[in-house]
C-alpha cells in the first residue's frame, strides 16, 4: 500500500554508545571517511548521500540517509555505534536513571534498551535484565558484552514470577517495561500484523507487577504498537487501578516531541494524552511506538529545600 511505501523511507538512526566513544568523535570519524556534517532538520524524507547529522530530540543519536548500510562499518563492529531506531531510544531517556541506580529491565532481550540504560548510568549501579526466552537472553548477553556493559545481570525467567520483596531487588527504583506487543508499529511488519487480544492483559499484568516493587518510583512502559488497546487503553486501565502511581508530567517524557497520545483513546482526557508519547510510522520517520511513564505520587511533588 502507499502507506507502507511512505513509511519505509526512514533514515538510518545510529545510537552512539557512550561506553566506547562520544558523539563528537563519531561525527569526526564519519567526516574523515568523506561524510559531510549537516545541521539537524525536520524533513528527513530524502537526506543527501554521505551526510551525517545530530538528531533533533536525542543527544546520543545520529541520523544518516535511508539505506545507509553500516553492518560492516568498523564503528559498528567495535560496538561504538548501535543500530537502533529513534523511537526505541525513547524509553531509556524517559527512564533517565541517575548514576548508581538499581534498575529492572523486565522484558529485556535482545537488549538494545538495556545497553542504552547501561550507557546512561555510565556502567554504575545494577541492571537486572529479565527475559523468558533463553535464546534471546543469550543474544542480550552477546550484544551487551560487545557494547562494553559491565553492570548488567541477565536473568532467565518470567518477570511476572519475580518476587518484588526479594532482598536482591530492595533498591530497585527504576523499571523499564517493554513487553511483547503486536509489533504493529514496525514498518517492515506493517503488512502482516499480529492480532492477539490477550496482549493487553499481559501488558497490564507486567505494569501492575512492576508497581509492587517497594522502592519503585518510575515505571516506564513502551510498545512498538500503534493500537490504542495496547497503549492509551492500557494506561487508563492502570490509572484507574492504582492510588500510588500517577502519570509523570510531559517534562519527563521527551517534552519536545510533538506527537502525544490520542485524546479520544484516553477517555477524552487531554492531560493524560499530553503525558504520553506516540510516534507514527507514516509521518515521523520512525517506527510506530508508544511510551508512558508512571511515577510514584510522592516523586512528582515538588521537593522542599
Ligand atoms: N526491550 C527489548 C529491546 O529493546 O531489545 C525488546 C523486548 S521485546 C519487545 C519483548 C520481550 O519480552 C521478548 O524478548 C520476550 O521473550 C520477552 N517476554 C515475554 N514474556 C515475558 C515475561 N513474562 N517475562 C520476561 N520477558 C518476557
Q: What is the ipTM of this complex?
A: 0.99
Query: Where residue 28 sits, what CATH number does that domain have?
Result: 3.30.70.1170
Q: Is the CB of 107 under 6 A from ligand 1?
A: yes
Q: Which residues contact 196 (CB under 8 A, 6 or more apart)?
A: 182
- 18 annotated as ligand-binding: no
Same domain (yes/no): 184, 275 = yes
Domain contains 153: yes
Tell me which of 95, 114, 132 to substitute to probe ligand 1's pocket, judged by most ligand atoms within 8 Å of the beta carbon.
132
Distance CA 49, CA 23 (A): 20
Q: Probe ligand 1: pick from 85, 90, 104, 108, max atoms within 8 Å of CB?
A: 108
Residue 163 counted as an annotated binding residue: no
> Regarding beta strands 126-131 and 61-64, do their DSSP bridges make them parallel or antiparallel, or are they unpaired?
unpaired
Return the residue whose CA atom lies nearest to atom 17 of ligand 1: 107
Tell me, in angstroms, the distance from the centre of ligand 1 to residue 288's CA. Answer: 18
CA–CA distance, 171 with 161 (Å, rounded to integer): 18
- Average the pLDDT over 195-207 and give the result: 85
Domain count, the chain: 2
Q: How much of the chain exceeds pLDDT 90, in percent? A: 85
58/99 same-domain check: no
Domain assignment present for 100: yes
Q: What is the pLDDT of residue 42?
A: 85
pLDDT of residue 192: 47
Ligand 1 centroid to residue 7 C-alpha, Å: 25
Q: Which of 7-11, 40-44, 79-83, 135-139 has the lowest mean pLDDT?
A: 7-11
60-64, 104-108, 180-184, 296-300: segment of lowest average pLDDT: 296-300
Find the mean pLDDT for residues 132-156.
Answer: 98
Residue 208 lies in a domain: yes
CA-to-CA dists, residue 36 to 53, 64, 172, angstroms: 9, 10, 43
CATH of the domain at 264: 3.40.50.150
79 shares a domain with 102: no
197: pLDDT strictly greater than 70: no
**Domain stop point among 28, 50, 83:** 83
Q: Is the CB of 132 under 6 A from ligand 1?
A: yes
Q: What is the mean pLDDT of residues 294-298?
A: 94
For residue 190, the model assigns a pLDDT of 54
Q: Which residue has the higher pLDDT, 92 or 197?
A: 92
Sheet holding 61-64, edge to edge: 36-37, 51-54, 61-64, 12-16, 81-83
Helices (H), 80-176: 90-95, 112-120, 134-146
Q: Note the pLDDT tens digit of each residue in 219-234.
A: 999 999 999 999 999 9
Provide the pLDDT for residue 43: 84
- Tell me the pLDDT band of 196, cut-offs 50, 70 and 90: low
Spatial distance between the Cα atoms of 133 and 200, rounded to a whole number of angstroms:
20
Which among 89, 95, 181, 224 is annotated as catalytic?
Answer: 224
User: HSE-up of 81 (CA within 13 Å, CB side)?
Assistant: 25
Range of the domain at 174: 87-300
| pLDDT at residue number 184 | 86
Position 1 scores a pLDDT of 44
Examine the domain organization and report whether 19 and 95 are in the same domain: no
- Residue ID of nearest Cα to ligand 1 atom 23: 158
268-294 confidence digits (pLDDT tens): 999 999 999 999 999 999 999 999 999
30 within domain boundaries: yes
Judge whether 2 lies within some domain.
Answer: no
DSSP string, 196-241: -TTHHHHHHHHHHHHTTSTT--EEEEEES---GGGTHHHHHHHHTT
- Strands (E) in 73-119, as ranges, are 81-83, 102-105
| Any domain includes 188 | yes
Residues 95 and 65 in one domain: no
Atom of ligand 1 nearest to the CA of 112: 5
Query: Is 110 annotated for ligand binding?
Result: yes
Domain co-membership, 50 together with 109:
no
Indicate whether 152 and 36 sit together in one domain. no
Q: Residue 224 catalytic? A: yes
Please check whether residues 26 and 162 belong to one and the same domain: no
Atom of ligand 1 nearest to the CA of 113: 4
**52 lies in some domain:** yes
Q: Which residues have C-beta within 8 Å of that of residue 113, sequence separation ≥ 6?
A: 88, 91, 92, 105, 176, 178
Give the pLDDT mean for 158-185: 96
User: Is 3 a member of any domain?
Assistant: no
Ligand 1 atom, smallest distance to 180 CA: 10
Q: Which of 56, 83, 110 is the last residue of a domain?
A: 83
- Nearest-angstrom CA–CA distance, 194 and 182: 5
Whether the CB of 28 sits within 6 Å of ligand 1: no
To test the pocket of ligand 1, the residue of 107, 118, 141, 182 to mutate (highest count of ligand atoms within 8 Å of its CB) is 107
User: Do residues 112 and 180 both lie within one domain?
Assistant: yes
Is 48 labelled as part of a ligand binding site?
no
Q: Tell me what pLDDT residue 233 has.
A: 97
For residues 72 and 190, state if they share a domain.
no
Angle between helices 232-239 and 199-210 (to 10 degrees): 40
Confidence bin at 136 (pLDDT 50/70/90): very high
Question: Looking at 19, 52, 83, which one is the last position of a domain?
Answer: 83
pLDDT(159) > 60: yes
pLDDT at 3 over 60: no
pLDDT of residue 267: 97
Residue 117 CA to ligand 1 centre (angstroms): 16
C-alpha cell, 179: 513487553
Q: What is the pLDDT of residues 16-27, one digit of tens each?
A: 999 999 999 999
Under the banding of pLDDT at 50, 70 and 90, the label for residue 305 is low
- Residues 166 and 60 reside in one and the same domain: no
pLDDT at site 97: 98
Shared-domain flag, residues 95 and 214: yes
pLDDT of residue 198: 79
pLDDT above 70 for 195: no
Amino acid at each position: 500500500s502507499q502507506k507502507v511505501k511512505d513509511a519505509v523511507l526512514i533514515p538510518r538512526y545510529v545510537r552512539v554508545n557512550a561506553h566506547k566513544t562520544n558523539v563528537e568523535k563519531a561525527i569526526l570519524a564519519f567526516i574523515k571517511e568523506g561524510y559531510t556534517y549537516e545541521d539537524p532538520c525536520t524533513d528527513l524524507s530524502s537526506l543527501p548521500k554521505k551526510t551525517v547529522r545530530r538528531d533533533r530530540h536525542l543527544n546520543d543519536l545520529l541520523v544518516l540517509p535511508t539505506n545507509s548500510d553500516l553492518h560492516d562499518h568498523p564503528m559498528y563492529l567495535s560496538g561504538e555505534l548501535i543500530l537502533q531506531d529513534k523511537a526505541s531510544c525513547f524509553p531509556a531517556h524517559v527512564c533517565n536513571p541517575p548514576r548508581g541506580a538499581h534498575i529492572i529491565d523486565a522484558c529485556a532481550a535482545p537488549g538494545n534498551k538495556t545497553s542504552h540504560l547501561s550507557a546512561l548510568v555510565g556502567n554504575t549501579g545494577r541492571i537486572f535484565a529479565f527475559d523468558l526466552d533463553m535464546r534471546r537472553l543469550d543474544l542480550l548477553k552477546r550484544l551487551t558484552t560487545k557494547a562494553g556493559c559491565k553492570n548488567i545481570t541477565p536473568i532467565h525467567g518470567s518477570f511476572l514470577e519475580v518476587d518484588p520483596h526479594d532482598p536482591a531487588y530492595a533498591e530497585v527504583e527504576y523499571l523499564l517495561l517493554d513487553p511483547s506487543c503486536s509489533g504493529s508499529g514496525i514498518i517492515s511488519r506493517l503488512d502482516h500484523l499480529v492480532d492477539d487480544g490477550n496482549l493487553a492483559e499481559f501488558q497490564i499484568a507486567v505494569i501492575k507487577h512492576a508497581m509492587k516493587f517497594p522502592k519503585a518510583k518510575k515505571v516506564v512502559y513502551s510498545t512498538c504498537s500503534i493500537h490504542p488497546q495496547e497503549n492509551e487503553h492500557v494506561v487508563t486501565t492502570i490509572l484507574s487501578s492504582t492510588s500510588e502511581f500517577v502519570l509523570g508530567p510531559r517534562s519527563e517524557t521527551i517534552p519536545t516531541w510533538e506527537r502525544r497520545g490520542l485524546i479520544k483513546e484516553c477517555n477524552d482526557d487531554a492531560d493524560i494524552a499530553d503525558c504520553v508519547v506516540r510516534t507514527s510510522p507514516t509521518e515521523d520517520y520512525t517506527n510506530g511506538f508508544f511510551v508512558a511513564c508512571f511515577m510514584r505520587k510522592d516523586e512528582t511533588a515538588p521537593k522542599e529545600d
